[in-house]
Amino acid sequence: MSNINVTTYPEDKIFEESGYDDHFYEHHHGDKYQSSFIGHYIFSMDHKMISKQFLITGIFWAIIGAAMSVIFRLQLGFPEESLAWLKPILGKWIVVNDAGIGKLAPEFYYALVTMHGTILVFFVLTAGLSGTFSNLLIPLQIGARDMASPFLNMLSYWFFFLAGVVMFLSLFVSTGPFAGGWTAYPPLSALPQASSGSGTGMTLWIVSLAFFVVSVLLGGINYVTTVLNLRTKGMTMWRMPLTIWALFITAIIGILSFPVLLSGFFMLMFDRGLGTSFYLNDIFIGGEALDRVGGSPILYQHLFWFLGHPEVYIIILPAMGMVSEVLAVHSRKPIFGYRAMAYSIMAIAFLSFIVWAHHMFMSGLNPFISNFFVVFTLIIAVPSAVKVFNWITTLYGGNIRMVTASLFAIGFVSMFISGGLTGIYLGNSTIDIQMHDTYFVVAHFHIVMGVAAFFGMFAGIYHWFPKMYGRFMNETLGRIHFWGTLICAYAIFWPMHYIGLAGVPRRYYDFSTFDAFKHFEDLNKFITIAAIIAFGLQILFVVNFFYSIFKGKKLTTRNPWHANTLEWTTPIEHLHGNWPGNLPVVYRWAYDYNKDDREYVPQHIKLNENEVDNH
Amino acid sequence: MTFIVLIILALIVIITIQIGRISDLATKIRGEEVANEQQNNRSALGLLIFLVVFLVLCIGSAWYYKDVMLGYGPLTSASEHGFLIDSMFNWTLFFTGIVFVITHIALFWFSYKYREVRGRKASFMAHDTTLEMVWTLVPAVVMAFLVVRGLVDWNKIFDAGKNGEGYIEIGATGYQFAWDIRYTGADNKLGAKDFRLIDPATNSLGLDWKDEASLDDIVLGGSDVIMLPVDTLVKMRVSSKDVLHSFYLPHFRVKMDAVPGMPTYFTFKPTKTTEEFRQELRKYPEWNEPYDPSDPESKPRWKEFNYELACAELCGKGHYSMRRIVKVVSKSEYDSWLAGQKSFYLKNIRGTENDPHKDELFPFEIENRKKELTAEFDAKANPETALAAGEDIIILKHVFYNTGSAGLRDLSKHELDNVVSLMNKYPNVKLELRGHTDNVGDDDLNMKLSQERADNVYNYLVGKGISDSRLSAKGYGETMPIGSNDTAEGRQENRRTELRIISK
């Protein structure tokens, strides 16, 4: 990296002189619980190792979830082509007709769509994203030895792992995995006679997600406690990097909203197994009138979306925080409007709790109630707009290093704009009458919380990979990955706006039944081809990731990006307790880039005489 | 086969890794700084090119596809409120379009312009209160505009039909995987229904026949076209039998979830008949292509165009197939179509064992029977009409006895009263009252029963003041069947009471 006035700061010496002695090493002689293979790599209590566990598990699920989307995209893009070649993997779910054309069974198509959503939303973009980076960055960036409770932190991962095992098993049950959509609306999800996937597949689905909620709560409590209690000396709240602000608020949202989902899930379990009627009323199915009255399917929707909406911010806020950090570091400028950024995270988080019913405008909700939800929903556009303007202004006047991490961060801003703006259409109940449950919605949320969150995650991975593994990821492959993904992501989701504007509903296995929906074969083919290429590019990323862990270019200095935050003051080799001696003491905010003649001034550097901290 | 695929995959992995390694080597050879600078410029230029291509493709493709989008080209709204939605869409498009273009230009242009250049120093710019106020307030004002406009329209749409304007009601009930469509009949009211009354064979909606409003309700057959009158407010009453569905009419901008146990509604006014909509489509070349691309002889697409009903809430494996055709016609055509429809109750339930009213006659039935009997009597009792043998008989369709006995039921009175007034109208007419049974049971008993029944009718008429000289009563037992005694319907026909005109 080429820069003027490149200073390197002798961290160890500084910490020895002005660090804070927390007597850590007097208590932990020999670091016993990391000494064995199992203790170090499997049941690890070290936040850096747990972070890697979350990331690699997330990558595993991302590959499965993405592969599923490729299979159902093949059905949508090439309904006439035979999928018989998938029979060795999918078995009876490929139905081969007399002419030898193999087609995906409709119930399995819906199972794939459902699993794709569940896996990506929960396992990849919640656990894989905030699990990874909360673990990695919270202790390192606030100057803590580890999480407040390393044990709960370990449990958090293993509950996630357990959730994964149960979900994975559900893929192989004979009645198929759950197929009622990732939102699992009853009565479809409550009654096995309504869909074959609502049998054992659904039982496993809901058990898996119950474990998952436990994982999120254990993790979240830990993150919040750690940020509140374990910040090092001088690390006031207003000196925290925006990554920490984002991860901190994310954890709070998770703690407040996931229990509501869990209670909703429990009632669904009772309806399924114990004969209660929380969500059931007046149902005639399978030739009989059910003896289950008095409940309301709408109640479930309220409980689900009370999590479901904050959930999209649980997904996007960590990405926003990381993008803020990556953009500031690589444009060599302070993040523009630091306080506004933090306040807008808080505003978004607060608003995220009072907008849930905008998913339910057309569910039979009293139209009067929708008025409030429209107002609050569209207010979110204001803090979101502030964030976008601040990111763009952060680039203005910078000296931007075009590394893969910063490219992905720029791509994130583009995706967030494109996907965020379509939210203004959908949040307006009047337009939502027509747009609800069409491909326009699919385009909107995939761009704004799918692709954008992935871009934020990639920015984070490329940026902090050296911190995680002591090596760089390959830049050339990274750039191919970025450009390919940027182009493919838009190629996949942009045309979906048009399909949606033509009125085509989402979750259709086949469009040929309807005259109004069947004239988009070309677009659907185009989308499918783009999706296949995008999938290939993500495999490229995975190859690069694992190759670089072992063979990537080695890190020679602690602070390769010349960043100001504390994680870059730790030794390249990970050690338990993060800092070999004293803890760093913080004297300034995280964004003193090109403040004076110094190109960057890390947080642990004392203020000069007459120098004012800028936050 | 699998082996080859695996080899190809392995090769791809190896090749990509090699690409990475070679580029690393090349960087080393050229010198890291030079290589980095080159990379930096290339990436920045890439972003700039991406910006231009992206914006051109976005706007260009939107223009290219505009005619297939609802609200543009020929596919304007087919309902009144749909124009509010389309106009709200366009206002939002206007504002977001501006923001989209400006922010993207700024994002990518700044990225390009401020790419790293050796020796340049980034400016230290932490915040700017004025600027931040401006870009907080401007979105706030725009949002306020969109919110207010959106909500005014939203409330207008859901207030339809509440200001006293008349509307017709139509019921749509979703189930896996079709819709039951129900019209009100003359009372403009949908009758009550209850899921416990559902019987897939005889009462798929679970209509409650005890509710008078149900009796004239018309239920369409499974593939019948849903008819709507143009320029008339239609209140769609939406419900579901099993899981969630959503009643979705894309061309009308109508969507409402069907929730079991919670009736919902959507009120809208179709403004274009199917034929008018077809004529709009006709002006566009793509709508003049053959409907079936593989058959150039097939009709042009515009001629085959129909409004469609779809399901928009995942409801199971057949979710994608819940299609019904909707046809909008003129009010008069609609009225005459509706008049030609028979109520589900009268068509399928009346008189069957499922009919709770089988022991009663409805006023309209009494009225109709009176007209029918009078017409028949008038024709046959006219002294100038010559009646051939057998033509002189009138069956008293509304004379009923208690089962197995000869006692007249009260229900029979109106028919007999009509006979009284007709006999008074034609004072010369003399009648034989004839009782008949089916062949079930003992012949002699049947003979006796039929005689008693005829006698009871005789006594009733005499009691009403008809001279006994004009009447005689005779039982024929099972000797004169008019239908087959092998079927229930035939036996029903055979059990009857008749008048025979003896002289006039």
pLDDT tens, position by position, A89-98: 888 999 988 8
Per-residue confidence at A32, pLDDT binned at 50, 70, 90? low
Put simply, the answer to whether A285 touches B120 (Cβ < 8 Å) is no
Q: Please report whether residue A612 resides in a domain.
A: no
Find the helix packing angle between B32-65 and A404-426, rounded to 10°. 20
CB proximity B83 to A under 8 Å = no
CATH number of the CATH domain containing A156: 1.20.210.10
* CA proximity to B453, closest of B498, B395, B417: B498
Please check whether the domain covering B363-503 is classified as CATH 3.30.1330.60: yes
Put simply, the answer to whether B260 touches A282 (Cβ < 8 Å) is yes
Q: Is B346 exposed, middle or buried (0-12, 13-18, 19+ CB in 10 A)?
A: middle
CB proximity A516 to B under 8 Å = yes
Give me the mean pLDDT over the A29-56 stretch: 80
pLDDT surpassing 70 at residue B36: yes
Taking CB atoms and an 8 Å cutoff, what residues of chain A touch B153? Answer: 430
Put simply, the answer to whether A188 touches B251 (Cβ < 8 Å) is no
Taking CB atoms and an 8 Å cutoff, what residues of chain B touch A110? Answer: 314, 316-317, 319
Q: Is B198 exposed, middle or buried (0-12, 13-18, 19+ CB in 10 A)?
A: buried
CA–CA dist A282, A584 (Å, integer): 64
- Tens-digit pLDDT profile for residues B163-194: 878 899 999 999 999 999 999 988 889 999 99
- Cα(first)–Cα(last) distance of chain B, in Å? 98
Q: What pLDDT, on a 0 to 100 scale, did the predictor assign at position A16?
A: 85
Q: Please report whether residue A615 resides in a domain.
A: no
- Tens-digit pLDDT profile for residues A66-76: 999 999 999 99
Q: How many domains does chain A have?
A: 1
Is residue B350 within 8 A of residue B338, CB to CB? The reply is no
Q: What pLDDT, on a 0 to 100 scale, did the predictor assign at position A615?
A: 60
Is residue B403 within 8 A of residue B504, CB to CB? The reply is no
Give me the mean pLDDT over the A246-272 stretch: 96
Chain B segment 120-139 residues within 8 A of A by beta carbon are: 120-128, 131-132, 135-136, 139
DSSP-based three-state secondary structure for A173: coil
CA–CA dist B242, B260 (Å, integer): 6
Phi first, then psi: give them for residue A213, nearest 5 degrees: -60, -40
Q: Please report whether residue A563 resides in a domain.
A: yes
Q: What pLDDT, on a 0 to 100 scale, did the predictor assign at position A35?
A: 64
Is residue A261 within 8 A of residue A307, CB to CB? The reply is yes
Provide the residue type at A396 as one letter.
Answer: Y
**Could you please report the per-residue DSSP string of A332-398?**
TSPPTTHHHHHHHHHHHHHHGGG-GGGG-TTTT--HHHHHHHHHHHHHTHHHHHHHHHHHHHHHTT-
pLDDT surpassing 90 at residue A533: yes
Q: What pLDDT, on a 0 to 100 scale, did the predictor assign at position A147?
A: 94
CA–CA dist B483, A419 (Å, integer): 74
As a whole-number percent, the residues of chain A with pLDDT over 70 amount to 97
Count of CB pairs separated by less than 8 Å, A with B: 364
Q: What pLDDT, on a 0 to 100 scale, did the predictor assign at position A3?
A: 44
**Count of H helices and E strands in chain B?**
13, 14
Domain boundaries of chain B, sorted by first residue = 1-30, 37-71+80-116+129-159, 168-349, 363-503
Please list the helix, strand and coil fractions of chain B in percent, rounded to the nearest 5, in that order. 45, 20, 35
Per-residue confidence at B357, pLDDT binned at 50, 70, 90? confident
DSSP-based three-state secondary structure for B257: strand
The domain of A98 spans: 11-280+299-569
What is the CB-side half-sphere exposure of residue A507 using CA atoms within 13 A?
29
Taking CB atoms and an 8 Å cutoff, what residues of chain A touch B59? Answer: none
Put simply, the answer to whether B320 touches A510 (Cβ < 8 Å) is yes
- Tens-digit pLDDT profile for residues B271-304: 999 999 999 999 999 999 999 888 888 999 999 9
pTM (two decimals): 0.92
Q: What pLDDT, on a 0 to 100 scale, did the predictor assign at position A34?
A: 60
Interface test with A, best of B107, B208, B298 (most A CBs within 10 A): B107
CB proximity B225 to A under 8 Å = no
Alpha helices in B285-362 (DSSP H): 301-304, 331-339, 344
Say how many C-beta atoms besides its own lie within 10 A of residue A99's C-beta: 6
pLDDT surpassing 60 at residue A276: yes
Q: Is A1 exposed, middle or buried (0-12, 13-18, 19+ CB in 10 A)?
A: middle
CA–CA dist A494, B60 (Å, integer): 12
Q: Which residue has the tokens 């009354």?
A: B197
Q: Is A559 left (phi over 0), alpha (psi -120 to 50) or beta?
A: beta
CA–CA dist A358, A355 (Å, integer): 6
- Tens-digit pLDDT profile for residues A553-602: 999 999 999 999 999 999 999 888 899 889 999 999 999 999 888 889 99
* CA proximity to A476, closest of B50, B53, B6, B15: B15
CB contact set of A128 (below 8 Å; sequence gap of 6+):
A54, A55, A57, A58, A59, A61, A62, A457
Phi first, then psi: give them for residue A471, nearest 5 degrees: -140, 165
User: What is the pairing mode between strands B264-268 and B234-240?
Assistant: antiparallel
Chain A segment 107-126 residues within 8 A of B by beta carbon are: 107, 110
User: Looking at CA atoms only, how far is residue A13 from chain B in angstroms?
Assistant: 28
User: What is the pairing mode between strands B245-249 and B168-175?
Assistant: unpaired
Give me the mean pLDDT over the A516-532 stretch: 94
Q: Is B504 exposed, middle or buried (0-12, 13-18, 19+ CB in 10 A)?
A: middle
CA–CA dist A152, B211 (Å, integer): 62
Per-residue confidence at A4, pLDDT binned at 50, 70, 90? very low
CB contact set of A439 (below 8 Å; sequence gap of 6+):
A496, A497, A499, A500, A504, A505, A506
CB contact set of A287 (below 8 Å; sequence gap of 6+):
B200
Provide the residue type at A613 as one letter.
Answer: D
Q: What pLDDT, on a 0 to 100 scale, did the predictor assign at position A23?
A: 80
Please give the C-alpha separations between residue B89 and each of A417, A490, B83, B242, B290, in angstroms, as whole numbers.
Answer: 18, 22, 10, 34, 32
Per-residue confidence at A31, pLDDT binned at 50, 70, 90? low
* CA proximity to B112, closest of B45, B201, B210: B45
* CA proximity to B226, closest of B342, B337, B348: B337
Is residue A319 within 8 A of residue A456, CB to CB? The reply is yes
Q: Which two tokens stand for residue B190?
A: 């949908």
Is residue B146 within 8 A of residue A428, CB to CB? The reply is yes
pLDDT surpassing 90 at residue A486: yes
pLDDT surpassing 90 at residue A33: no
Put simply, the answer to whether B146 touches A340 (Cβ < 8 Å) is no
DSSP-based three-state secondary structure for A175: coil
**Could you please report the per-residue DSSP string of B73-106?**
TT---SBTTHHHHHHHHHHHHHHHHHHHHHHHHH
Q: What pLDDT, on a 0 to 100 scale, did the predictor assign at position A184?
A: 95
Taking CB atoms and an 8 Å cutoff, what residues of chain A touch B176? Answer: 194, 285
Is residue B428 within 8 A of residue B504, CB to CB? The reply is yes
pLDDT surpassing 60 at residue A121: yes
More confident residue, B254 or A609: B254
Please give the C-alpha separations between residue A146 and each of A318, A496, A579, B434, in angstroms, as whole numbers.
Answer: 19, 44, 10, 105
Q: Please report whether residue A49 resides in a domain.
A: yes
CB proximity A263 to B under 8 Å = no
- Tens-digit pLDDT profile for residues B43-80: 999 999 999 999 999 999 999 999 999 999 899 999 99
Put simply, the answer to whether B264 touches A110 (Cβ < 8 Å) is no
CB contact set of B325 (below 8 Å; sequence gap of 6+):
B225, B226, B306, B307, B308, B309
As a whole-number percent, the residues of chain A with pLDDT over 90 amount to 84
Domain B168-349 shares a fold with domain B363-503: no
CB contact set of A205 (below 8 Å; sequence gap of 6+):
A118, A167, A170, A177, A178, A184
H/E stretch holding B11 reads: helix B2-30
Please check whether the domain covering B168-349 is classified as CATH 2.60.40.420: yes
Is residue B209 within 8 A of residue B219, CB to CB? The reply is no
Taking CB atoms and an 8 Å cutoff, what residues of chain A touch B54? Answer: 490
pLDDT surpassing 90 at residue A15: no
Give me the mean pLDDT over the B472-492 stretch: 88
| ipTM of the prediction | 0.94
CB proximity B4 to A under 8 Å = no
CB contact set of A289 (below 8 Å; sequence gap of 6+):
A283, B195, B196, B198
Per-residue confidence at A6, pLDDT binned at 50, 70, 90? low
CB contact set of A416 (below 8 Å; sequence gap of 6+):
A316, A320, A384, A388, A448, A452
pLDDT surpassing 60 at residue A1: no
Q: Which two tokens stand for residue A600?
A: 């960057």
- Tens-digit pLDDT profile for residues B137-168: 999 999 999 999 999 999 999 998 888 788 99
As a whole-number percent, the residues of chain B with pLDDT over 70 amount to 100
Is residue A374 within 8 A of residue A380, CB to CB? The reply is no
Taking CB atoms and an 8 Å cutoff, what residues of chain B touch A332? Answer: 116, 122
Per-residue confidence at A2, pLDDT binned at 50, 70, 90? very low
CB proximity A413 to B under 8 Å = yes
- Tens-digit pLDDT profile for residues A139-193: 999 999 999 999 999 999 999 999 999 999 999 999 999 999 999 999 999 999 9
Q: What pLDDT, on a 0 to 100 scale, did the predictor assign at position A303?
A: 96
pLDDT surpassing 90 at residue B4: no
* CA proximity to A399, closest of A66, A110, A129, A2: A2
Please give the C-alpha separations between residue A411 and each of A323, A591, B16, in angstroms, as whole numbers.
Answer: 10, 22, 23
Question: Does residue A505 have a cis bond before it (omega within 30 degrees)?
Answer: no
- Cα(first)–Cα(last) distance of chain A, in Å? 27
